[in-house]
């Protein structure tokens, strides 16, 4: 009997060992999605090389740029994460029309120039037209963006309530790209697809032309002086753009940290005070050619819609987005950030909550009325994401 | 002998079919001489009735570009499946523009307004 008991204990221990050995290690920031094929995994790794490639003027950098590599800004705590750079964007209203200042080089105004452009034009950054509404933009982490890309449009539109018909004070509304498609990427949700977000970033951030965008951005609306752009266009191949796109697409969302009782309580309070009206806990992806992106839940804490954040945060319009409207920021990976809000204005999560106004005023007010312990619980929950 | 006749008939039939296909391929619809057709979907940012042009905004990500398009007098503009006229083309309107593109630029041959300009108070 004693021997049988001992055998059972040994069997149980063996079983536990086998189970532990067969469990994959938890996903770390910067890891690829689980369930990628060998070919997709290979493209992820090769794409990371493109993402980290440092460009020079000879290989196409600039002549206007914000960074010399994708990985220069998306770097903390690992490649694909956040950066400490703050970009300058600007647009203007002209008779009720939101002008992205495309004929003046907008809406992204690069803050660095190559030595050749400096020599040709004597400028240190792209000039912003007088009277434009300027906006600071922090670098987002791009973890889990492939899953956000895979959420069907109609699931986003289902959550929209532009006229606040349910009278909850929250009126999420969709932005549209210039061609009318639903937007979801970018702080104003202008960009419909991850592919376009990534392709456009090569041009506006690094000054790298691609087959989809074979010409450089203008410099304040003027063409680039030939002497300032020695590399032939396009400066990156379609395949390299595809690889970089696959790297971003296949980046897994950071796994939230395990919650203790206080964190679990904070998660509940986060819901009851109304934060989830915009920071929707999860979205579902639809059919997708990539199995790892197909029919998945993504715990992104966003509805990908525009919400009024109040006049204090208002900066610029973009597409249908008014100056005070911003897309609900995804909260996945929140613990990995060093600055908060679209403009990096908040140094802590608590400060970011305090800076929510407009449609979020009710939730912010309820947060303020919580006891110190309850507030700490909410912050513990958010700090686990 | 009958095999040779079969080959001859087949060759003749192929030649006739090729000639017909070639004629069809070279036939162009009226008004398209010399230009390539292109459909541009974008947001109107400017209309200049003096020069008979409008600007369309298109974008790849946050890289926004401007396409200047000439428009002829009497351009057919549709909105919600009805003729809307040039007055529907205002900054902010999202349009699908059928163009003929030549080296001198793009000329609109038809416009469909997909979304009217948003009402804004600014």
With CB atoms and an 8 Å threshold, state whether B57 touches A107. no
Residue A56 has a pLDDT of: 97
Alpha-carbon distance of A307 to A324, in angstroms, equals 8
Q: What is the dihedral of CA B36, B41, B43, B45, to 10 degrees?
A: 0
Residue A101 to residue A114: CA distance in whole angstroms: 22
Q: What is the ipTM of this complex?
A: 0.92
CB contact residues (below 8 A), chain A span 3-42, against chain B: none
* CB proximity A363 to B under 8 Å: no
Q: Do A99 and B94 touch (CB under 8 A)?
A: no
Going by C-beta distance under 8 Å and a sequence separation of 6 or more, which residues neighbour residue A371? none
Cα A30 from Cα A37, distance rounded (Å): 17
Q: Do B62 and A95 touch (CB under 8 A)?
A: no
Largest CA distance in chain B: 86
Q: Which residues contact B98 (CB under 8 A, 6 or more apart)?
A: B37, B38, B39, B108, B109, B110, B111
Do B120 and A93 make contact, defined as CB atoms within 8 angstroms? yes
Task: Give the per-residue pLDDT at A217.
Answer: 87
Q: How far is CA B65 from CA A111, A203, A208, B58, in A?
A: 19, 12, 15, 5
Could you read off the pLDDT tens digit of each residue along chain A, which spans 385 residues? 566 677 767 766 666 666 656 677 889 999 999 999 999 999 999 999 999 999 999 999 999 999 999 999 999 999 999 999 999 999 999 888 999 999 999 999 999 999 999 999 999 999 999 999 999 999 999 999 999 999 999 999 999 999 999 998 999 999 999 999 999 999 999 999 999 999 999 999 999 999 999 999 899 888 899 889 999 999 999 999 999 999 999 999 999 999 999 999 999 999 999 999 999 999 999 999 999 999 999 999 999 999 999 999 999 999 999 999 999 999 999 999 999 999 999 999 999 999 999 999 999 999 999 999 999 999 999 999 9
- Report how far residue A160's alpha carbon sits from residue A315's, in angstroms, rounded to the nearest whole number: 23
A226 backbone dihedrals φ, ψ, rounded to 5°: -55, -35
Q: What is the dihedral of CA B44, A186, A235, A230, to 10 degrees?
A: 80
Nearest by CB to B57, which of A102, A185, A196? A102
Counting one residue from chain A and one from chain B, the pairs whose CB atoms sit within 8 A come to 94
E strand or H helix at A215: none
Q: From its phi and psi, is residue B5 left (phi > 0), alpha (psi between -120 and 50) or beta?
A: alpha
B contact test, residue of A87, A103, A186 with most B CBs within 10 A: A103
Contact criterion met (CB below 8 Å) for A67 and A59: no
pLDDT tens-digit readout, B2-57: 556 665 565 555 555 444 444 444 444 444 456 799 999 999 999 999 999 999 99
Question: Nearest 10 degrees: CA dihedral of A138, A140, A141, A145?
Answer: -170
Kind of pairing, strands A83-94 and A133-139? Answer: antiparallel
Alpha-carbon dihedral angle through residues A146, A334, A320, A152, given to the nearest 10 degrees: 30
CA distance A338 to B14: 71
Helix (H/G/I), strand (E/B), else coil: A300: coil
Residue from A219, A192, A214 nearest A203 by CA: A214
Spell out the residues 6+ positions from residue B33 whose beta carbon is closer than 8 angstroms to its own.
none
- B121 contacts in chain A (CB < 8 Å): 96
- Cβ of residue A107 closer than 8 Å to a chain B Cβ: yes
pLDDT for the residue numbered B2: 56
Residue that the structure tokens 């929250």 belong to:
A170
pLDDT of A229 reads 92
CA neighbours within 13 Å on the CB side: how many for A92?
14
Alpha carbon distances (Å) from B63 to A127, A207, A218: 17, 10, 11
Map residue A122 onto helix, strand or coil.
coil
pLDDT value, residue A60? 96
Contact A92, A133 (CB under 8 A): yes
Helix (H, G, I), strand (E, B) or coil at A183: coil
Whether B80 and chain A come into contact, CB under 8 Å, resolves to no
As a dihedral over the C-alpha atoms of residue A241, residue A246, residue A247, residue A253, rounded to 10 degrees, the angle is 140
| Predicted local distance difference test score (pLDDT) of residue A290 | 98
The predicted pLDDT at position A119 comes to: 95
Is B47 at the interface with chain A, CB within 8 A? no
Cα–Cα distance, A332 to A326 (Å, whole number): 17
- A109 — phi, psi (to 5°)? -105, 110
CB-based contact B114:B94 (threshold 8 Å): yes
Expressed in angstroms, the distance from the first to the final Cα of chain B is 86
- Measure the CA–CA gap between B57 and B40, rounded to whole angstroms: 10
Burial class (CB in 10 A: 0-12, 13-18, 19+), A133: middle
Sign of the Cα pseudo-torsion (A300, A301, A304, A310, in order): negative
Query: Which of A90, A102, A193, A233 is best to mutate for the B interface (most B CBs within 10 A)?
Result: A102
């Amino acid at each position: 009997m004693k021997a049988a008991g001992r055998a059972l204990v040994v069997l149980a221990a063996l079983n536990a060992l086998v189970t532990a050995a067969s469990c994959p290690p938890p996903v770390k920031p910067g890891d690829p999605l689980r369930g990628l094929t060998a070919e997709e995994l290979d493209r992820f790794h090769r794409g990371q090389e493109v993402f980290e490639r440092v460009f020079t003027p000879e290989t196409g950098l600039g002549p206007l740029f914000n960074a010399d590599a994708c990985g220069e800004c998306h770097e903390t705590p690992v490649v694909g994460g956040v950066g400490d750079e703050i970009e300058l964007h600007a647009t203007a209203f002209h008779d009720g029309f939101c002008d992205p200042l495309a004929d003046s080089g907008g809406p992204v105004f690069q803050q660095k120039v190559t030595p050749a452009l400096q020599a040709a034009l004597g400028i240190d950054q792209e000039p912003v037209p007088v009277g434009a509404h300027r906006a600071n933009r922090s670098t987002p982490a791009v973890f889990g963006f492939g899953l956000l890309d895979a959420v069907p449009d109609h699931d986003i539109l289902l959550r929209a309530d532009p006229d606040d018909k349910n009278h909850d004070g929250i009126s999420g509304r969709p932005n549209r790209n210039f061609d009318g498609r639903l937007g979801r990427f970018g702080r104003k949700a202008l960009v419909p697809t991850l592919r376009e977000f990534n392709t456009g970033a090569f041009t506006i951030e690094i000054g790298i032309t691609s087959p989809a965008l074979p010409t450089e951005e203008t410099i304040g609306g003027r063409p680039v002086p030939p002497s300032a752009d020695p590399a032939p266009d396009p400066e990156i191949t379609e395949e390299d753009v595809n690889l970089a796109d696959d790297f971003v697409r296949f980046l897994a969302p950071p796994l939230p940290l395990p919650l203790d009782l206080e964190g679990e309580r904070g998660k509940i309070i986060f819901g009851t005070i109304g934060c989830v009206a915009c920071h929707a806990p999860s979205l579902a992806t639809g059919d997708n050619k990539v199995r790892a992106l197909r029919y998945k839940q993504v715990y992104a804490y966003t509805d990908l819609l525009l919400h009024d954040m109040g006049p204090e945060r208002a900066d610029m319009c973009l597409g249908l987005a008014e100056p005070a409207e911003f897309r609900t920021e995804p909260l996945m990976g929140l613990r990995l950030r060093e600055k908060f809000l679209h403009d990096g204005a908040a140094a802590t999560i608590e400060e970011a909550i305090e800076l929510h106004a407009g449609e979020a005023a009710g939730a912010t007010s309820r947060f303020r009325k919580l006891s110190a312990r309850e507030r700490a619980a909410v912050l513990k929950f958010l700090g686990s994401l | 002998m009958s095999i040779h006749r079969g080959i001859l008939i087949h060759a003749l039939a192929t030649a006739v079919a090729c000639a017909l296909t070639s004629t069809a391929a070279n036939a162009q619809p009226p008004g398209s001489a010399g230009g390539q057709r292109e459909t541009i979907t974008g947001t109107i940012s400017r209309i200049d009735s003096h020069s008979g042009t409008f600007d369309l905004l298109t974008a790849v990500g946050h890289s926004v570009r401007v396409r200047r398009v000439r428009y002829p007098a009497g351009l057919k503009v549709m909105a919600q499946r009805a003729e809307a006229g040039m007055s529907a083309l205002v900054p902010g309107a999202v349009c699908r523009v059928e163009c003929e593109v030549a080296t001198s630029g793009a000329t609109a041959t038809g416009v469909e307004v997909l979304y009217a300009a948003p009402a804004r108070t600014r």
